[in-house]
């Protein structure tokens, strides 16, 4: 397949297998996502068949290990796929990224039985996942979440906080989550709740909750600026019963589980943002050749050429950092700092490049007809979710200063 104008020079250090993966994802995105992306955005329409088609390609478990039934892509391979999806349709990229995000922790912290009965339908694309952390009073400060999991014994009595965990037969969830992507369409929800608010982050515990569980329902749908074809909604827990076998990891391990999943998910979002930036750059560059003003193509105006060069610099830098984070993950290294750097850099790059693309298209860029403004709206969300870019500055500063202290 021909390289696009924004591909890295040469093969970008990719293996033949990685190039094949990228090209397959590019063809899929061109065929299945791009033609309907604008219409689905306009109508705020979620299309479940897209998820099924992704599953046919193995994308519903793309970076998960083969040992649990995943496709076993390298993390770098996964970022190549996400860049292609993000370039065509960020809403579908986010939908898949969240589905993967909700499965990672089950791979790492789940029991063999949970691998089997929780992951199998998700990997097969029969069940869509959601990751449920944010609450009305706990966004950036996720450790302040209030959704409560009371501990219930065999006799149906509530257990005190200091009773041993093996005495717990089931948990009952009460509380509200907001901004949960893929809800209410998702079938399987990874939910974080506290068994003891006094313990702060050490009380947070992860639960696997199925749609249809009595006492678990949906509230308002978020009316979003961008990624409008990927739904997001409020979750309401009113005594939802979760058997002890559906607790993920140990009691009190939930915060660590959430943070480790997010570190991986941020690389995936960074890659999709590289896709947004690349798409904006490609479309703007083509437009500058096509559009004439003052008797010559816009592409001859140095002021605009310099904008194109800066856009290309943004995309290439964001991609390089994203690939570095993915390669670090593939090598099994700690990725907290790098994934924050990648997500912060790539989402800011996507926002700047998409905004410049709107400018280069002039009035046509501001029109909803060309789809350029959609890139700008979609990029904005990525500066906010999976940790705002202010929180990433905090994470990076914390790591750098920790090293400086020695
Ligand atoms: C499109 C979209 C999809 C989402 N999907 C999901 C999902 O699937 N699951 C989920 O659990 N959540 C999801 N979220 C929620 C998202 O994670 C939160 O919106 C985000 O963490 C920020 O929390 P908040 O909205 O409460 O903002 P706040 O935390 O209230 O922040 C408000 C402002 O204050 C700044 N701020 C806060 N604390 C600090 C600090 N210590 N230092 C400097 N600045 C700070 C923030 O950067 C921000 O600018 C989604 C959000 C969006 C927009």
- Which pLDDT score, from 0 to 100, does residue 4 have? 56
98 and 145 co-located in one domain? no
- Model confidence over 4-41: pLDDT tens digits? 555 654 456 788 889 999 999 999 999 999 999 999 99
Nearest-atom number in ligand 1 for the CA of 183 is 8
Residue 161 pLDDT class (50, 70, 90 cuts): confident
Our answer on whether the CB atom of 388 is closer than 6 Å to any ligand 1 atom is: yes
- Going from the Cα of 158 to the center of ligand 1, the distance in angstroms, rounded, reads 33
If you take atom 45 of ligand 1, which residue's CA is the nearest one?
390
Tell me the residue range of the domain where 316 lies: 256-405
User: How many Å apart are CA 210 and CA 235, to the nearest integer?
Assistant: 12
Are the C-beta atoms of residues 392 and 262 closer than 8 Å to each other?
no
CATH code of the domain covering residue 392: 1.20.140.10
Phi, psi of 8 (to 5 degrees): -65, 150
- Which pLDDT score, from 0 to 100, does residue 2 have? 45
- Which pLDDT score, from 0 to 100, does residue 14 have? 85
If you take atom 32 of ligand 1, which residue's CA is the nearest one?
140
* Residue 142 in this model has a pLDDT that exceeds 60: yes
User: How many Å apart are CA 206 and CA 39, to the nearest integer?
Assistant: 37
270 and 398 co-located in one domain? yes
The answer as to whether 327 is a domain residue is yes
Q: Hey, what are 5's tokens?
A: 């104008």
Our answer on whether the CB atom of 355 is closer than 6 Å to any ligand 1 atom is: no
Q: Hey, what are 225's tokens?
A: 């600026």
User: How many Å apart are CA 346 and CA 318, to the nearest integer?
Assistant: 5
79 and 139 co-located in one domain? no
* Residue 115 in this model has a pLDDT that exceeds 90: yes
If you take atom 1 of ligand 1, which residue's CA is the nearest one?
381
Q: How many domains does the chain have?
A: 3
Our answer on whether the CB atom of 144 is closer than 6 Å to any ligand 1 atom is: no
CATH code of the domain covering residue 96: 1.10.540.10
- Model confidence over 198-249: pLDDT tens digits? 999 999 999 999 999 999 999 999 999 999 999 999 999 999 999 999 999 9
Residue 253 pLDDT class (50, 70, 90 cuts): very high
- Going from the Cα of 59 to the center of ligand 1, the distance in angstroms, rounded, reads 27
Our answer on whether the CB atom of 79 is closer than 6 Å to any ligand 1 atom is: no
- Model confidence over 293-303: pLDDT tens digits? 999 999 999 99
Q: Hey, what are 127's tokens?
A: 């069940």
Find the radius of gyration of the CA atoms of the chain: 22
- Model confidence over 329-386: pLDDT tens digits? 999 999 999 999 999 999 999 999 999 999 999 999 999 999 999 999 999 999 999 9
Q: Which of 44, 78, 109 is the last residue of a domain?
A: 109
Told to judge if 386 belongs to the known catalytic residues of this protein, a careful annotator would answer: yes
- Whole-Å CA distances, 90 to 39, 61, 230, 273, 384: 13, 18, 9, 8, 14
The answer as to whether 233 is a domain residue is yes
320 and 390 co-located in one domain? yes
* Residue 1 in this model has a pLDDT that exceeds 60: no
Share of the chain above pLDDT 90, in %: 94
């Amino acid at each position: 397949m021909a390289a696009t104008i924004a591909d890295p020079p040469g093969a970008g250090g990719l293996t033949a297998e990685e190039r094949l993966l990228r090209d397959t994802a590019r063809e899929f995105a061109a065929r299945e996502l791009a033609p309907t992306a604008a219409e689905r955005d306009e109508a705020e329409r979620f299309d479940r068949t897209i998820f099924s088609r992704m599953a046919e390609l193995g994308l519903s478990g793309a970076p998960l290990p083969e040992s649990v039934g995943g496709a076993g892509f390298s993390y770098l391979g996964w970022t190549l796929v996400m860049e292609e999806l993000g370039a065509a349709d960020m809403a579908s990229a986010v939908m898949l990224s969240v589905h993967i995000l909700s499965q990672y922790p089950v791979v790492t912290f789940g029991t063999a039985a949970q691998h089997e009965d929780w992951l199998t339908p998700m990997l097969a694309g029969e069940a869509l996942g959601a990751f449920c952390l944010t609450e009305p009073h706990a966004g950036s400060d996720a450790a302040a979440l209030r959704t409560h999991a009371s501990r219930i014994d065999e006799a149906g009595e509530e257990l005190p906080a200091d009773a041993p965990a093996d005495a717990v037969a089931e948990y009952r969830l009460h509380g509200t989550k907001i901004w949960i992507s893929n809800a209410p369409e998702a079938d399987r929800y990874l939910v974080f709740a506290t068994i003891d608010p006094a313990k702060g982050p050490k009380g947070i515990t992860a639960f696997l909750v199925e749609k249809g569980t009595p006492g678990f329902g949906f509230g308002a749908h978020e009316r979003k600026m961008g990624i409008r074809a990927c739904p997001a909604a409020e979750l309401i827990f009113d005594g939802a019963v979760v058997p002890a076998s559906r607790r993920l990891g140990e009691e009190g391990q939930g915060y660590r589980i959430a943070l480790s999943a997010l570190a991986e998910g941020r690389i995936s979002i960074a890659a999709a943002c590289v896709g947004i930036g690349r798409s904006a750059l490609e479309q703007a560059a083509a437009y500058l050749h096509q559009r004439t003003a003052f008797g010559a193509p816009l592409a001859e105006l140095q002021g605009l050429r310099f904008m194109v060069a800066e856009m290309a610099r943004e995309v290439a830098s964001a991609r390089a950092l994203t690939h570095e984070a993915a390669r670090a993950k593939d090598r099994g290294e700690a990725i907290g700092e790098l994934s924050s750097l990648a997500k912060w850099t790539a989402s800011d790059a996507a926002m700047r490049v998409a905004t410049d693309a709107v400018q280069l298209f002039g009035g046509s860029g501001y029109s909803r007809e060309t789809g350029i403004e959609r890139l700008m709206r979609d990029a904005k969300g990525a500066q906010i979710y999976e940790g705002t870019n202010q929180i990433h500055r905090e994470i990076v500063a914390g790591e750098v200063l920790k090293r400086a202290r020695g």
